[in-house]
Amino acid sequence: MKKKQLKWSVSLILILSMTAGLVSFNNDQRNFEIVKNLDIFYTLFRELNSYYVDEIDPGKLIKTGIDDMLESLDPYTTYIPESELEDFKFMTTGEYAGIGAVITKLGDYVAISEPYEGFPAQKAGLKAGDKIIQIDGKDVKGKTTKQVSEMLKGPANTKVELKIERPGVKKPLNIEITREKIQINPVPWYGMVDNETGYIVLNNFTQGCSRNVKDAFTDLRDKQGAKKIIFDLRGNPGGLLDEAVKIANLFLPSGTEVVSTRGKVKQWDKVYKANRQPVDTVMPLVVLVSRGSASASEIVSGALQDMDRAVLIGQRTFGKGLVQTTRNLAYNAKLKVTTAKYYIPSGRCIQAVDYSHRNEDGSVGLVPDSLIREFKTKNGRPVYDGGGISPDIKVKQKKYGNITYALVMQQMFFNYATDFTLKHPSIPPVNDFTVTDDIFNDFKQYVLAQKDFKYESKTQEMFDEMKETAQKEGYYDAAKEQFGELQKMLKLDVNKDLDMFSDEIKELLGIEIVKRYYYQKGAIQFGLKDDPELEEAKKLFSDMNEYYGLLNGTIPSHAGDRRSMKN
């Protein structure tokens, strides 16, 4: 017996020694590959620097190499040099020091697009449409928005002097502004959309945003009489994980799992639970989501769906379920590196499983059935992975005509609104203001007078391609008359197309005009006047049997439809 045990012991020692040797060999081999390739990179760069025909910028060249290397991994692992740390800080905290305004390129100059209400730019009298000519005596013609932004930012309580050109004012104006610490409110507006329904918009998951959401919710419930809540996460790109957990905790009982993370370094794996007393676990709740709702937005909406706490309305979300950790590098640089994936309470991973089928905006595209697995919510409703969160009630995403896109991109709405404010010192309150036929017709004449306004039709592009192909293949002559008739029908007519897409044009024009008088809050309120997801939410709240039926599974939802993953 002892001999047998000794034999097994010797065998085990040999196996462990061989395994350790293999691991050691693999590690040595890996380390050798790393050292070898770094040496190759260094010698290659040295040769380039010494012998390349033109002068090179070492920093720029290295950053290009780093960026391309990281891009081959995933879109979210990025290198942050010291020069970009302020922008990175703003993304995570929503905080910076400056004048508090959005800027935009306008011809050769940069102009004020929107001064934030209550911040230095607005208090100093800057208006949307003001063209920045000089900053602290330095001409800024030809500079990019990023370059101008860097000149406008600076330590709090320091002064910056702007020379601006204002439409309707003959001489340039000199305006001195004292920079302040700018903290953008992540909840730009909340209020009542009917007698019983409160509405909260959250733009980003920045530091402290859970407190803003909590304050908005309690004000709506305790002071404004809200008995139902619509929480708008459409277009919210996400942000801080801790804030997502805190916001989910507002509506979920203490101890409820919200999200877990799993990655290569197992000791970093973690389960995040609601650890505070919620503010409300029973009030009917709808969450609005879109293709632009990503990361932390998907954690909150997915956790609330998995725990059958809220009905989701909108479009399938972006599908970003990757965790990034910031690591310090030499010379104050940082690496934002993907270290894990998010998993919501049902066990679903938010991350799109197939990188090769993405929409143009990067969101989840077609997901093959073979890559989709079924999971269950707390009440047993079927939900699926494959990328993003599929809503319980799907609303087709609003699509705009080509002419509308052209009007936005060529700043027709922006420029007209600037002229409009010169002629109209005030407008009615947001809820009473409409883009009348007179305003719309005036806008039409404004656009028609712009000789450089151009836009393309996808149908026209396809027709031109078909015509060219027909000519090459010899079919064109036989159908020349038909091609001519079709070309007449497809000929772009700005006047006709402005009328054809008048509803959506009036909507965007109204938002831009209202923003000049009532800032971002007013623009949001005006945009809700004809909002399909909002109307769907109000319709659902008018039939609470349907609301609770969706949550308990007696009424099927889109979230449990495998086919919805393809839409």
Is 246 one of the catalytic residues? no
pTM: 0.83
Which is the catalytic residue, given 149, 210, 295, 346? 295
Q: What is the pLDDT of residue 15?
A: 45
Asked whether residue 478 carries a pLDDT value surpassing 90, the answer given is no
pLDDT band at 7 (very low <50, low <70, confident <90, very high): very low
Query: Contact, 316 vs 302, CB < 8 A?
Result: no
Question: Which residue type, as a one-letter code, is found at position 164?
Answer: I
pLDDT band at 1 (very low <50, low <70, confident <90, very high): very low
Which residue stretches of 424-559 are H helix? 437-448, 458-473, 480-490, 494-500, 502-527, 532-541, 544-552
Q: What is the pLDDT of residue 560?
A: 66
Residues 152-175 have a mean pLDDT of 94
Q: Higher-confidence residue: 320 or 31?
A: 320
Question: Which residue type, as a one-letter code, is found at position 453?
Answer: F
Query: Contact, 140 vs 110, CB < 8 A?
Result: yes
Q: What is the pLDDT of residue 353?
A: 65
Asked whether residue 557 carries a pLDDT value surpassing 60, the answer given is yes
Query: Contact, 424 vs 371, CB < 8 A?
Result: no
Which is the catalytic residue, given 163, 320, 506, 538? 320
pLDDT band at 558 (very low <50, low <70, confident <90, very high): confident
Question: Which residue type, as a one-letter code, is found at position 360?
Answer: E
DSSP-derived pairing of the beta strands 95-98 and 109-115: unpaired
Which is the catalytic residue, given 306, 385, 392, 531? 306
Asked whether residue 20 carries a pLDDT value surpassing 70, the answer given is no
Asked whether residue 97 carries a pLDDT value surpassing 80, the answer given is yes
Residues 25-35 have a mean pLDDT of 75
Query: Contact, 173 vs 127, CB < 8 A?
Result: no
Using CB atoms within 10 Å of the CB of residue 345, give its burial: 0 to 12 exposed, 13 to 18 middle, 19+ buried.
Answer: buried
Asked whether residue 360 carries a pLDDT value surpassing 70, the answer given is no
Query: Contact, 146 vs 131, CB < 8 A?
Result: no
- 92 CA to centre of own chain: 14
| Residue 559 φ then ψ, to 5° | -65, -25
According to CATH, the topology of domain 95-183 is Pdz3 Domain (2.30.42)
Asked whether residue 6 carries a pLDDT value surpassing 60, the answer given is no
pLDDT band at 329 (very low <50, low <70, confident <90, very high): confident
Is 222 one of the catalytic residues? no
215-221: long-range pairs with CB below 8 Å, 24+ = 216/187, 216/190, 217/250, 217/279, 217/280, 218/279, 219/190, 220/190, 220/191, 220/192, 221/280, 221/283
Which 8-state DSSP code applies to residue 233?
-
Give the whole-angstrom CA distance, residue 474 versus residue 480: 11
Closest CA to 522 of 448, 445, 431, 393: 431
Using CB atoms within 10 Å of the CB of residue 423, give its burial: 0 to 12 exposed, 13 to 18 middle, 19+ buried.
Answer: exposed
Among the ranges given (300-314, 359-373, 416-430, 474-488), the one the predictor scored with the smallest mean pLDDT = 359-373
Residues 144-150 have a mean pLDDT of 93
Give the tens place of pLDDT for each residue, 480-522. 888 777 777 766 788 999 999 999 999 999 999 999 999 999 9
pLDDT band at 451 (very low <50, low <70, confident <90, very high): confident
pLDDT band at 364 (very low <50, low <70, confident <90, very high): low
Query: Contact, 317 vs 344, CB < 8 A?
Result: no
pLDDT band at 36 (very low <50, low <70, confident <90, very high): confident
Give the whole-angstrom CA distance, residue 161 versus residue 147: 16
| Residue 101 φ then ψ, to 5° | -155, 150
Give the tens place of pLDDT for each residue, 466-475. 888 888 888 8
Q: What is the pLDDT of residue 275?
A: 94
Asked whether residue 161 carries a pLDDT value surpassing 80, the answer given is yes
Q: What is the pLDDT of residue 483?
A: 79
Burial 470-505 (b: 16+ CB within 10 A, else e): beeeeebeeeeeebeeeeeeeeeebeebbeebbebb
pLDDT band at 356 (very low <50, low <70, confident <90, very high): low
Which 8-state DSSP code applies to residue 271?
E
Six token digits for residue 35: 């050292």
Query: Contact, 463 vs 486, CB < 8 A?
Result: yes
Q: How many residues does the chain have?
A: 567
DSSP 519-550: HHHHHHHHHGGG-HHHHHHHHHHT-HHHHHHH
Q: What is the pLDDT of residue 454?
A: 84
Asked whether residue 213 carries a pLDDT value surpassing 80, the answer given is yes
Q: What is the pLDDT of residue 422?
A: 94
| Average pLDDT score, the chain | 88
pLDDT band at 567 (very low <50, low <70, confident <90, very high): very low
Is 295 one of the catalytic residues? yes
Give the whole-angstrom CA distance, residue 430 versus residue 416: 19
Among the ranges given (330-334, 420-424, 428-432), the one the predictor scored with the smallest mean pLDDT = 330-334
Query: Contact, 289 vs 234, CB < 8 A?
Result: yes
